[in-house]
Amino acid sequence: MTITITAFERSPDGGKGLARDTRVRWALEEVARPYEVRLVSFRAMKEPAHLALHPFGQIPTYEEGDLVLFETGAIVLHIAERHAGLLPPDTDARARAIMWMFAAVNTMEPPILELVTVKILESDKPWSQARLPLVVDRIRNRLGQLSSRLGDDDWLDGTFSAGDLMMVSVLLRLRPSGILDEFPNLAAYVARGEARPGYKRAFDAQAAINA
Amino acid sequence: MTITITAFERSPDGGKGLARDTRVRWALEEVARPYEVRLVSFRAMKEPAHLALHPFGQIPTYEEGDLVLFETGAIVLHIAERHAGLLPPDTDARARAIMWMFAAVNTMEPPILELVTVKILESDKPWSQARLPLVVDRIRNRLGQLSSRLGDDDWLDGTFSAGDLMMVSVLLRLRPSGILDEFPNLAAYVARGEARPGYKRAFDAQAAINA
């Protein structure tokens, strides 16, 4: 069955790969599955046809036959469960890979996204500058904990998994801020993710749309 | 194999069931699996023995033989995959249930937790009162979208699933604020979750510790 995902007609980041369709593209590249892309404008994302697919009016969505999914983590997990390459065969290791997927979106990403709140959504508020250091400290705290756990390892739990795919994707959001470079092992971890051929193909595909 | 979870020695909410061990207890009750609980103090949570189990120094953790998991979503999904009762047998419906688990922790919970930031962590800051309406509006926006999707249904996708367990647990955090009552179908949805015998047993178990 044909897989169709949605992506921004024009990504807010101008093609830097931070829109969440890149995560899904990367997963599909890792398992070597072809896919089609339907581009959606900001206006269309809030209209009934798209809201029927994604109740929160975002991208990406994933359509495959009768199945419609939203939530990047769920889409990546669905792909990982159906095709070899993103989840280890050992049952316990598989559970830990899924654990890292949840850690990426539930523990690491929320404080990181607060940078967007303070720098963009609330940039015109009088408290914006004073709040920024608090937000950055919360991110540093999480990065320090993740850095301690990763140590000198290449990936979070043995071989590369969907957990690393999600975690690298979340950490990539920090590159423009420079905070990631305070944790050299995390910066190297992210660079290892970006060096994977599947990531490069995913990045190039989204960049081409936004060129 | 014995299942052991960790929970707060003294929960910050005093036993209102909002600590995340309640979600894991609820899942274990739904699938009728016995479990043991090891209580952890705030100090012990940040010490090496606990950090070896949970790199972010939180509760709950889940131990079962050699398997150690953290991240509530991952723990609930692990339980749901091993035991009948929390994931539908149909493959597509199962993927959608997992989608709602991710939606609960990645789309709904982050704006809801910002209430804690503004009301507690930053309550002494001069911007706290002025920021509160912005934070509440972001929550209302998400609740409105979720309310539209749920409509008159009892659960998010047919029968009760791990997706509802996670979503109800996340929405419960809003009850003290009163915001939930602005969306009667969501308030009724949460009440349906709380009325389940498994939830009641989980709630009572954590309340007994904090009595």
Q: Which residue of B has its CA nearest to A134?
A: B122
- pLDDT (tens digit, 9 = 90+) per residue, A102-134? 999 999 999 999 999 999 999 999 999 999 999
- Looking up tokens 């959001």 gives A173
A128 and A33 belong to one structural domain: no
- Is B78 within 8 Å of A66 when comparing Cβ atoms? no
CB A96 within 8 A of CB A157: yes
- Taking only residues 135 to 164 of chain A, the set having a beta carbon closer than 8 angstroms to any beta carbon of chain B reads 142, 145-146, 148-149
Q: Where residue A211 falls among pLDDT bands split at 50, 70, 90?
A: confident
CB B60 within 8 A of CB B198: no
Say whether B1 sits in a helix, a strand or coil: coil
For the cut 90, the answer to whether the pLDDT of residue A63 exceeds it is yes
Which residue among A78, A113, A131 places its CB closest to the CB of B127?
Answer: A131
- Is B95 within 8 Å of A74 when comparing Cβ atoms? yes
B-chain residues near A102 (CB < 8 A)? 71-74, 77, 102, 105
Q: What pTM was estimated for this model as a whole? A: 0.97
Average pLDDT, chain B: 97
On whether any CB of chain B is under 8 Å from the CB of A73, the answer is yes
- Tell me what the mean pLDDT of segment B9-17 comes to: 92
Min Cα separation B10/chain A (Å): 22
A-chain residues near B75 (CB < 8 A)? 99
A-chain residues near B106 (CB < 8 A)? 71-73, 105-106, 109
- Is A96 within 8 Å of B69 when comparing Cβ atoms? yes
A68 and A140 belong to one structural domain: no
Say whether A69 sits in a helix, a strand or coil: strand
A96 and A180 belong to one structural domain: yes
Domain ranges, residue A112:
91-196
The confidence score (pLDDT) of residue A190 equals: 98
- Tell me what the mean pLDDT of segment B131-148 comes to: 97
A11 and A40 belong to one structural domain: yes
For the cut 90, the answer to whether the pLDDT of residue B211 exceeds it is no
B96 and B186 belong to one structural domain: yes
- pLDDT (tens digit, 9 = 90+) per residue, B22-73? 999 999 999 999 999 999 999 999 999 999 999 999 999 999 999 999 999 9
Instruction: Report phi then psi at B130, rounded to 5.
Output: -70, -30
A82 and A103 belong to one structural domain: no
For the cut 90, the answer to whether the pLDDT of residue B176 exceeds it is no
A183 and A147 belong to one structural domain: yes
Q: What is the CATH number of the domain that holds A22?
A: 3.40.30.10
Average pLDDT, chain A: 97
Number of structural domains found in chain A: 2
On whether any CB of chain A is under 8 Å from the CB of B116, the answer is no
For the cut 90, the answer to whether the pLDDT of residue B166 exceeds it is yes
Q: Where residue A176 falls among pLDDT bands split at 50, 70, 90?
A: confident
Sign, CA torsion B45/B46/B50/B54: positive
Which residue among B75, B77, B107 places its CB closest to the CB of A71?
Answer: B107
A68 and A102 belong to one structural domain: no
A77 and A132 belong to one structural domain: no
The confidence score (pLDDT) of residue A41 equals: 96
* CB atoms near residue A204 (< 10 Å): 13
Q: Which residue of B has its CA nearest to A108?
A: B56
Alpha helices in chain B (DSSP H): 21-30, 42-45, 48-51, 72-82, 91-102, 109-116, 128-150, 162-172, 184-194, 197-209
ipTM, two decimals: 0.97
B137 and B175 belong to one structural domain: yes
A·B CB contacts under 8 A: 111
- pLDDT (tens digit, 9 = 90+) per residue, A71-89? 999 999 999 999 999 999 9
B-chain residues near A70 (CB < 8 A)? 99, 103
B46 and B102 belong to one structural domain: no
Q: Which residues are CB-neighbours of B94 under 8 A, at least 6 positions away?
A: B87, B88
A12, A26, A73, A155, A198 from A162: Cα distances, Å: 25, 10, 9, 11, 12
Which residue among B55, B77, B134 places its CB closest to the CB of A145?
Answer: B55
B97 and B116 belong to one structural domain: yes
